[in-house]
Chain A
Amino acid sequence: MERVAREALQRQLERLADGDRDAFHPVFVRLWPLLRGFAARCLPREEVEDAAQEALLRVFARAAEFDRRRDALSWVLGIAAYEIRTVRQRRRRRREHPEHALADRPDAGRSPEEIAVAADLERALGEALATLRPADAETLLAYARGERPDLPGPTFRKRVERALGRLRSAWRLNHDRR
């Protein structure tokens, strides 16, 4: 951001913090593209818009707390960075607990073709799982069910990663054969 634009943002945010409602529109027009660009640098495209909107709403909700001695741009980007971190954490949690992600998914009536493809994939996955060592299969099933065996977290994660690697290899092998 250029120095002039940065100084303008500082002045406008100070006015907004002071309760001057006329400063709302200029701050909005300045911040929206800035936050969208910032989110685009840190998140995949499909999550940019939502994260930028959340960050923008949070900035405006906290505008009254803005301290004029602070740098406006750093303050805004600090809030945006926190929001982006929250989005990332939410995504990571969704990945760690896939059953939640499945439960959240709307039940769009699947076509017979989709059901057949899903059944095929399920069978192929079962075959690939069957080629794994029982310990690896158990680890993956426990992970899929969201269960945690009596192991330290990092050890369990490593086992899951190793088992997933072997599953991928088995999957590739089966599909190459076909």
Chain B
Amino acid sequence: MTVAEENLAARARAAYEGGRLRWALGRAAVATALSAVALIGCPSQAAPAACAAALGVLVAACFWRGGAWARGARLGFAAGLAPCLLPAAARAAHACYSSLCLAMPAICVAAGVAAGLLLGWLGPRLRGHDDRRFWLAAASAVVLAGATGCLAAGLAGLGGMALGLLAGAAAPVIAARAA
């Protein structure tokens, strides 16, 4: 390569990284906006809002990096939508009337199970599932998205979601080993 071509390659590389970052930030903004729906009617918004912001940063970083990181974050976010939005849906449906809602931990457990099932069933079918980075990104995204919705129910909600998630994710793995 000539010097001019090397210079052009450096500019092209910068354009690629810049374009990739813009693209990732666009997707992160969508993910943050979707998870922010969980804040509607939430009695204490600070911690869930911090989780939504952290989710945005995680999605932006994973999508910018690409490969197994991006695929894992995409799956984790999709799975995390259930525990993220179900508590808000329950509030909207007036299943809870006060800030202390006894049904909320149960809702978080159920949503966690749904998210875990999706992770455990779909994850091993996706390209790059044998890469640790894929599962690290997926687990981080599902926990942050789920926490955005379930933190409204306090630590009981978060713990319930975590238990449900583990149970849901373990089920397809156990079924596959038994078969």
Interface residues of A, Cβ cutoff 8 Å to B: 16, 18-20, 24-25, 28, 32, 53, 56-58, 60-65
Contacts of A65 on B, CB cut-off 8 Å? 19, 23
Contact partner, B8, options A18, A53, A58, Cβ 8 Å: A53
Contact A60 B15 (CB under 8 A): yes
Contact B66 A19 (CB under 8 A): yes
B43 contacts partner chain A, Cβ-Cβ < 8 Å:
no
Contact A24 B65 (CB under 8 A): no
Instruction: Encode B58-97 as 1/0 by CB contact (under 8 A) with A.
Output: 0000001111011000000000000000000000000000
Question: Looking at chain A's contact residues, is the secondary structure mostly helix, strand, loop, or mixed?
Answer: helix
Contact A60 B66 (CB under 8 A): no
Residue of A whose beta carbon sits closest to that of B16: A60
* A24 smallest CB distance to B (angstroms): 6
Contact B9 A19 (CB under 8 A): no
Contact A18 B13 (CB under 8 A): no
Contact A63 B66 (CB under 8 A): no
Given contacts A18-B67, A19-B70, 12 further A-B contacts (CB under 8 A): A24-B12, A25-B9, A32-B8, A57-B12, A58-B15, A60-B15, A60-B16, A61-B16, A61-B18, A62-B19, A63-B16, A64-B24
Residue of B whose beta carbon sits closest to that of A56: B12
* A69 smallest CB distance to B (angstroms): 15
| 7 A–B contacts from the bound complex (CB under 8 Å) | A18-B70, A19-B69, A20-B66, A56-B8, A63-B16, A63-B20, A64-B20
Residue of B whose beta carbon sits closest to that of A16: B16
Q: How far is the CA of A70 from the CA of B175 in the complex (A)?
A: 37
Residue of A whose beta carbon sits closest to that of B66: A19
- With A32-B5, A57-B11 known as contacts, the answer to whether A24 contacts B67 (CB < 8 A) is no
* B74 smallest CB distance to A (angstroms): 12
Contacts of A60 on B, CB cut-off 8 Å? 12-13, 15-16, 19
Q: How far is the CA of A93 from the CA of B153 in the complex (A)?
A: 62
* A29 smallest CB distance to B (angstroms): 8
- With A19-B66, A19-B70, A20-B67 known as contacts, the answer to whether A63 contacts B19 (CB < 8 A) is yes
Q: How far is the CA of A171 from the CA of B16 in the complex (A)?
A: 52
Contacts of A28 on B, CB cut-off 8 Å? 9, 12
Contacts of B69 on A, CB cut-off 8 Å? 19
Instruction: Encode B1-38 as 1/0 by CB contact (under 8 A) with A.
Output: 00001001101110110111001100000000000000
Most buried by B among A18, A53, A57, A64: A64
Q: Considering the complex of A and B, which 3 residue pairs feature the smallest CB-CB distances, nearest first? A: A19-B66, A61-B19, A60-B16
* A68 smallest CB distance to B (angstroms): 11
Q: How far is the CA of A19 from the CA of B71 in the complex (A)?
A: 11
Contact A19 B67 (CB under 8 A): yes
Q: How far is the CA of A24 from the CA of B20 in the complex (A)?
A: 13
- With A60-B19, A63-B19 known as contacts, the answer to whether A18 contacts B66 (CB < 8 A) is yes
Contacts of B15 on A, CB cut-off 8 Å? 57-58, 60-61
Q: How far is the CA of A64 from the CA of B64 in the complex (A)?
A: 9
Contact partner, A64, options B5, B9, B13, B23, Cβ 8 Å: B23
* A160 smallest CB distance to B (angstroms): 40
Q: How far is the CA of A20 from the CA of B5 in the complex (A)?
A: 21
* A71 smallest CB distance to B (angstroms): 20
Residue of A whose beta carbon sits closest to that of B5: A32
Q: How far is the CA of A51 from the CA of B65 in the complex (A)?
A: 29
